[in-house]
Each structure stands twice: as structure tokens, then as C-alpha cells.
Structure 1
Amino acid sequence: MSFLDKAILAISPERGLRRVKARSAAQTVMNFDAASRGRRTRGWKAPGTSADAAGMGSRSRLRNLSRDMIRNRALAVRGRDVITGNVVGTGILPSVRMDNPNDAEAAMDVLRQHLLTAAIDAHGTCDVLGLQRVVMNTVFCDGEVLVRRRMRDPRLDPDLTLPFQIELLEADHLDETLTSHGKNEVIEGIEYGPTGRIEAYHLFPRHPGEIGRLRSLGLKSSRVPAKQMLHIRRVDRPGQMRGVPWLAPIMMTLGEISDYQEAQILKQKIAALLAFFISASSDGKVYDGKPLQDLQPGAIVGLEEGQTVHPSQPPTVDGYQEFMNQAIRTIAMGLGLSYESFGDLRGVNYSSGKMGRLEMDRFVEVWQKQLMIAQFCTGVGNWVLEAWPLVQRLPAAPKEIAWTAPKRPLIDPPKEIKAAAEEIKSGITSRQRKQREMGYDPDVIERERREDAARDQAMPDDTSQSEKDENNERD
């Protein structure tokens, strides 16, 4: 401490202690250049908000901006389609776990009738595989999506195999005007109990942006218990309950790239123009340009004495390709995708293609397991198990419903299949695990192999091997 610090500490201990603490904190901050305040860090924002507080007040605008970008910006659409296409693909398929194979097949018939038809959708449009695609699209665009279970009366809906349907709702349905319900706190439409656990969602019956004759009647939210809801979103920070659009980190970049593209297109249009300017003659007479309206290739146009023609010099367009390549790489990195997934495959071979997919595949696997399967598919599976005992005519309920992600495209099938077989043979992994990694259900494969073996055995003994092979190909 300096002499002044000691003097202040002797006269006013509290004030002196604050001075010493402030000086010590300042010295600590100065050890990190990024934490300093000055010209280089001017404009940097570093609020100490929680995960949900960071998006409070701006979440709605972010959603609207994200939707507009997906409507009008090709790169945003491409990013969404690549993520959904890799995470969901043709669909994450359900399967049952039961001791008796016959019971398992009967239970799978129930799942096929209810989940793999439009009966599962409250709007009667998609099966569960189509709903998965809509869920992933909405999570990417809005950052989150709500899934509501709609219980049905079997007397009114006798065609339903299981007495429930699911309805997908955008986050706009949340009533963000409420602050409490009884003793519970309500934040942005979500009701939290004393322990911080979600107890209910307060939802509008219709989308606030919907049009129609009922729009003028006003909206009044209703309380829906949390057990009737699934809230699908990517969780990046502890305590995070709401999601943000995946385009949020790159929205500024996307907007500026679009502006740059528009400017370059206009520049290209100008560059494609070729005009002629005719200087006035020596007597000051100006050419009115009318004869040039009929100018044809190879035409010879007469000019008055003293007049000369000067062609225009349109601007050239340089550096566009290099700039756009770097911009697309920035967008790809912000979304966790590879640059090649945006369609530029120039100079890509097996090795570079494989290396480019490694990190992207890891992200896709995380989104499949922690987002789609853990949150959406498992939630729907639990609702299936809860509804099963309510229908007496159904076969035995499955012990567990598992979900298998779709088959991943192979870059070089002979090499990759051989490597997978070597892993199984050496004991590094099991056959079932490898089958699931490749997008196949081990139970389905085992059943089909038994059926193939039984079919081969049923063939007459005098059937030649070539005939058997021909029959197998025909089947």
C-alpha cells in the first residue's frame, strides 16, 4: 500500500479497505488483455446474465428473424436441411424389447398402426417419422418446440389404436405476460415449482400470429401440466430451460453476405451493359440517339460531321468467389457443419471427405442422441407405454421401446464395411452395437435372417444352388 492508502485506512477503515480491494481487483483484471477496458475492447458486451436471461426480451425477435432468413436466404435453408437430413434422415425408427419374439412382433404391429401412420398426429398429416423432421426443423429455426399430448376418448375415436395423439406447437403459444400462478413463479410462460422443476406450461389455444375469423376474439392462455408436454431444445448451459435459434451466432454474417450478394448481382448487371456515348460535333449540335434504336449486329450508322462514338466502360467483378467461399466456411463453422456439406465438392477425395465429416458426424450423433432420441422419441415412447394398459384388446405391453437412428451414408462402402467387420472380429465392439451405429435394428436383422434360413430350408432338395440364388434375388 502507498502512503495515501495507509493514511485513508487509518482515518476511515471502510473506505480504505474498499480502495485496497478495488486496486487489487484492477491488477487481477489487467493480467488478461481481453478483460481490460479500452479502445481495443470497446463495443464488447459481457453481461453476467443466466442462460435464459440472456435471451429474455429478444427471443421472439430472434425467432422471427430466423424464420425470415430461412424463407429468403438460400444458405440458411441449406444449413437447416443438412442438419435435419443428417439427424433425422428417413426417420428414427422404434423397436420393442421383449423376451418372447412372438410378443415382440405383436407389439410392433401396434406401434406400426399408431406411430407409423398419421393416426399419431393430432392434425392427421404426418406419422412419427414426419413429425421428427418437423421437430428438428423447428428446433433449428426457433431454438425450441413444444409437443403436447392429446388424450382421446376411445368412444369418440374408435379408430385409434392407442388413445392419444401428439400436437406440435411453436414457442409463440407460450403466454409470456404471466408472472405467477398461485405460489409458483411463471417465467416466459413456463411455471416453476418451489424446487425449480417445471410444473406446467401456460399456452394460448391458437398461434398469436394466426389469421381468421377467430383472431378478433382475443387469446386467453390455459394451464397444461408438464406431464402432458415435451419441450425439445438444445441445452448449452447449466439451468437453461429455453432455446435460441441456431442461426443466432451467424445472423449478422448471413445478413451481410446477402447484402454483398445483392450488390454483386447489381454490379454484374451493370457490367453486362454496353452503351455508346456520342460527342457533339464542332458546331455544338447534339446527337439525339434515335437512329441508334435500330442498331443491329454489323450495322453501319452514319454520324454527322464532327461527332465521335465512345463505348462505356462497365465495372469488373473481382474476388467474389474467394470471398463467398470464406463466408460459407464461417456459416458452416457456426452451425457445426462441414464446408463441403454446402455443396462445394471441388478437390474432395476419400481422405479429405472423410476428415471433413468426422467432426460433423460427431455433432450429428450428439444431436440425435441427446436431442431427438432423449427428448422427443423417448418422451413419445413413454406416452405409448402409459397409454397401453388403457386398451384391453392389445397384446402384452413391451418392456422397453428403443429407437434406432437412420443409416449413415458411407463414403467408401467396401473399406468401411471391412473395417467394421474387423472391429467386431477383434472384439473391439459388438455386432449389435455396430449394426445400430450403421442405422440397422439388430432385432429386425435377426428375425429376417431366421426367415431367410427357413425359406431356404423349405426349398426342395433337388433345387440347384443357382435356382436358390435366383429365387432369393427375386424375393
Structure 2
Amino acid sequence: MGFFSRLMFRVTDSVSKRQIEAGGGGRRWDGTPLLGMPQQSALAARGVTKARATGLYINTPYGNRLVETWVAALVGKGWQTRSKHSDSAIRRALNEAFEELANPILIALARALVRDGEAFVQIIIEETGALRLKLIPADQVDASLSRELGNGARIVAGVEFDASDRVVAYHVLREAPGAPFAVFGQALRIPAADMLHVFDLLFPGQVRGLSWLAPVLLKLADRDAASDAMLMSLKTQSLITGFVRDPEGGAAGLDGDTSGAAINVALEPGAMRILPPGADVTFSQPGQGLAQAVDFLRAQDREIAAGAGVTFEALTGDLGEANYSSARVGLLEFRRRAEMLQGALIRAQYLRPLWRRWIDTQALAGLIPSDAGALADYHAVRFVAPGWQWVDPQNEVDAEVAAIAAGLKSRQEVVAGRGRDIDELDEEIAADARRAAQGGQE
């Protein structure tokens, strides 16, 4: 090879190394899944993914654990409503009434959100003007209904859009598929104002939600099958105690119960047998390789936990390798993600729009003032997410007290982080002080 040829080879080789490997070819990419149209792929996979997630949630320990871990993180001991109305009596009445309306279905909503990938809540106005909430199964919103409506309007998987891509209605079957005595007919058109659709938007333009277990469904199924196979193998091996080999074709002088051509010989503690020359006994060794298999399953558990967004300890309940520092780091990362989803899903897609619709309905019914200034006062609200339990209460409290003293945090921030409202807390502290003062006077 001449100098020019060697130079060209080096230049070509250097250029090839500077290419973006993720967009290149080669055998290493063979079999790698591609998702060129994620919106359409999510719609196509939604139904099967939901059915598989439901099956694994019901039938496998880890599938159930993943869903319930996320439900507990999103809902916890419950959300608190804090109206910002200037009148304290009205504020308290609004808080209690709304919590009584919104909280009863919150656990079921979160469970559907995680397991099915989406939750639908229908807002029904009773004859009295009161609101009633009805949780709609995801399959009841007709995913098979997609068509053009003209002038840019369309229906995609049961969700109707106008020409400006705004959701204007949902097309809901009269009964959920598979319900007893279900009567199928034309889907009912429910205005978007009467329906809350809660789901995590993975891709721009996504219409329906995808189960949160989608990244780990296959591994969950394989992991459960592997665990069952190990258990069955261990049970099968333990049924066979030993094998007797006799060159004479007999029982090597051993007595036992005859069952067809086989002789079942029971061994007693301390018993000794003298075998004829050439005869021998070998015993099965159940559990061989079990330790390596357990280590492999633990590695699978870590992948499942990572794919589902929870910690290994939260998935398995195994705290053997955890210490204070590692537990805290893992929990902080999980809590950041949970708080992000709490705000984007529970607060923004469920509580806030429901509060606004509830206030507007009360104004139309004449239960509260309907002028713009008064409505603005009634619309003002904030929602307090459930707080988190501490890993080490003393260290956590000391750190928060120091942060408040140094001006790095406010009392309101610390109290809100524990899932409490500072006004309510101050009222309780004042009530305790009054009781203590009355007791001292007595």
C-alpha cells in the first residue's frame, strides 16, 4: 500500500469514527427496536399493553407492588384543599366540601392511571345542582372510533378534536366492555367540560395514555416465569432421594415396596446397608446452582425497578443491602419524580379543573355570588400534596430547623413538604397554647 493509499485509509477511518453511531448501521444494531411514529404506535399498543399490565398486576407480586407503590406515592394519606378566599368560614367550608367530593375516587383514579396509563372521570350534574364524579374504565372510551368530521375536526380513538386541535368531546360507550348485561350501541358524545382525562404525555400529539408498566412488562412476565420454574425444579428434585444401580439387575439386596417394576426403598436414620459388589447408590442434589440463579434474579429485579421508576428496595422489600445514606439518596430521587408527576397529573389534570368546574356550577346554581370579582376570590385555591415519611426523623428535623434559622427555607416550605398547611398548623398550635393556659389557671 502506497503513501497516498495509506493516507486515504486513515482519513476515511477517521471520518467514519466521527459519525453519529446512533444513526449508523452495522450488525450491532440488528434487532434494535425502532419507534418512528410513537403517537400511532402508542395507540396501537395501548389495548394489549393495558390488558397485560392488568394481568400482571392481579397475578404477580411485583406487578402488584409496582402499581401500589406509585399509587401510594401519588396519593399518600390524601391531598388537602386550601381555598384562598378572604373569609375564613367560607374558606373552611369550601375546603371540606371539595375534599368530600374529590378524595373518595382518588385512589382508584391513581391506580387506573398507573396500571392502565390513563384515567377518565365523568362530571355529572344532579338535578339539585350538586356534582357527582364517576370513574370511567379506559376501555369504555371507544378507542376503535376514529374518523374525519370535516373542516379540520376529527375523532381519534374516541377523543374528538376541533380544527384548532382542542379536545371538545369524548365518545363513551354506554357500558364498559365485558360488563354484565352490557348493551353495545352507538357511543355517547360527552362534552370535554364534563370529562377529566388524566394521563402522562410521553410524546407530542399523543391522544391516549400508555400503562406505566410498559417498559417492564416483558421482564416482569419472564421474571415471574423464571421464579416459578426454579420453584418447580426444586420441588421436583426434592421428590427423588436416590438411585440404586445393581449390575445384576436387581435391588442390590435392598427391601422395599414394589410398585410395578420399581422398588421404593425408605431410609431410616442410622440405618446401614451392605451392597453387593458393583452396586452403588447415588443421591440427587436439589438446589444446585440456586445461589447463582438468585443473584441473576436480583439483577433482573434491579432492571425492573429502574424501568418502573422505583427503588430496588421499594420493589422487593429487601433492605439487606441498604443503609441510611443509600436509602436517602434513592428516596430523594424517587420523591423528585413523584412530586413532578403529582403536580403535572393529580394537581393540574384532576384537582384544579375539577375545582374550577365545581365553583362555576355553584355560581350558576346561585349558591355563591356569580360576579367576576367574587368568582375570582372563589377560584383562588392551592392543593397540598401528601408529605413524606422521614428516614431519620431527628436528623431531618435538625436540618430543617437549621435551614429555617439560616434563612435558606421558610416555615411554609418546610410545613408544605410534610403535607401540612401552615395556617392549619398555626391554628392547632394556638389551640394547644390556649388549652395549656386554661389548664395552668385551673
TM-score range, shorter chain: 0.7 to 0.9
Does 2:154 align with 1:185?
yes
Cα deviation code 1:35-69 (max 9, x no counterpart): 223321111232421x4212122211011011111
- Residue 453 of structure 1: aligned partner: 433
Shift of 1:374: 1.2
Does 2:91 align with 1:104?
yes
Q: Which amino acid aligns with 2:175?
A: R
Does 2:77 align with 1:90?
yes
Number of aligned residues: 411
Counterpart contact for 2:246–2:280, Cα < 8 Å: no
Q: Distance in 2 between matches of 1:65 and 1:308?
A: 54
- Residue 386 of structure 2: aligned partner: 406
Shift of 1:174: 1.7
Does 2:305 align with 1:332?
yes
Shift of 1:133: 1.3
Shift of 1:256: 1.6
- Residue 137 of structure 2: aligned partner: 170
- Residue 118 of structure 2: aligned partner: 144
Q: Distance in 2 between matches of 1:245 and 1:353?
A: 27
Shift of 1:390: 4.3
Q: Which amino acid aligns with 2:227?
A: Q
Q: Could you say if the C-alpha distance between residues 171 and 388 of structure 1 is closer, same or farther in structure 2, counting changes exceeding 3 Å? A: same
Q: Distance in 1 between matches of 2:401 and 2:314?
A: 28
Q: Could you say if the C-alpha distance between residues 449 and 152 of structure 1 is closer, same or farther in structure 2, counting changes exceeding 3 Å? A: same
Q: Could you say if the C-alpha distance between residues 307 and 48 of structure 1 is closer, same or farther in structure 2, counting changes exceeding 3 Å? A: closer
Q: Please state whether the residue corresponding to 1:201 is helix, strand or coil.
A: strand
**Correspondence 1:428-447 to 2 at 5 A:** 428-447=408-427
Counterpart contact for 2:159–2:171, Cα < 8 Å: yes
Query: TM-score if structure 2 supplies the norm length?
Result: 0.84
Does 2:289 align with 1:322?
no
- Residue 226 of structure 1: aligned partner: 192
Q: Could you say if the C-alpha distance between residues 32 and 206 of structure 1 is closer, same or farther in structure 2, counting changes exceeding 3 Å? A: same
Q: Distance in 1 between matches of 2:389 and 2:233?
A: 40
Q: Could you say if the C-alpha distance between residues 310 and 103 of structure 1 is closer, same or farther in structure 2, counting changes exceeding 3 Å? A: same
Shift of 1:168: 0.8
Cα deviation code 1:134-180 (max 9, x no counterpart): 111111111111111011011xxxxxxx6111111122012233333
| Identity level (%) | 24
- Choose the corresponding residue for 1:351, options 325, 332, 341: 325
Q: Please state whether the residue corresponding to 1:40 is helix, strand or coil.
A: helix
- Residue 12 of structure 2: aligned partner: none
Q: Please state whether the residue corresponding to 2:78 is helix, strand or coil.
A: coil
Q: Could you say if the C-alpha distance between residues 110 and 259 of structure 1 is closer, same or farther in structure 2, counting changes exceeding 3 Å? A: closer
Q: Could you say if the C-alpha distance between residues 459 and 208 of structure 1 is closer, same or farther in structure 2, counting changes exceeding 3 Å? A: same
- Residue 62 of structure 2: aligned partner: 75
Counterpart contact for 1:149–1:166, Cα < 8 Å: yes
Cα deviation code 1:407-454 (max 9, x no counterpart): 210111111112112222222232212211111111211222333334
- Residue 237 of structure 1: aligned partner: 203
Q: Distance in 2 between matches of 1:174 and 1:29?
A: 50
* Gapped regions of structure 1 (runs ≥ 5): 1-26, 121-127, 155-161, 464-475
Cα deviation code 1:255-300 (max 9, x no counterpart): 2212211221122113323433333463x55689526657352386
**Correspondence 1:2-401 to 2 at 5 A:** 31-49=19-37, 51-111=38-98, 115-116=99-100, 120=101, 128-154=102-128, 163-180=130-147, 182-183=149-150, 184-210=153-179, 212=180, 214-215=181-182, 217-280=183-246, 282=248, 284-285=249-250, 290=257, 293=264, 295=266, 297-298=268-269, 308-315=279-286, 316=288, 317-342=290-315, 343-392=317-366, 398-401=378-381
Q: Could you say if the C-alpha distance between residues 181 and 32 of structure 1 is closer, same or farther in structure 2, counting changes exceeding 3 Å? A: closer
Query: TM-score if structure 1 supplies the norm length?
Result: 0.79
Counterpart contact for 1:180–1:191, Cα < 8 Å: no
Q: Which amino acid aligns with 2:22?
A: A
Q: Which amino acid aligns with 1:381?
A: W
Q: Distance in 1 between matches of 2:123 and 2:49?
A: 27
Q: Please state whether the residue corresponding to 2:189 is helix, strand or coil.
A: strand
* Gapped regions of structure 2 (runs ≥ 5): 1-14
**RMSD over aligned Cα atoms:** 2.8
Shift of 1:103: 2.8
Does 2:406 align with 1:419?
no
Counterpart contact for 2:175–2:184, Cα < 8 Å: no
Counterpart contact for 2:160–2:168, Cα < 8 Å: yes
Q: Distance in 1 between matches of 2:22 and 2:94?
A: 59
Shift of 1:302: 7.8
Q: Could you say if the C-alpha distance between residues 393 and 221 of structure 1 is closer, same or farther in structure 2, counting changes exceeding 3 Å? A: closer
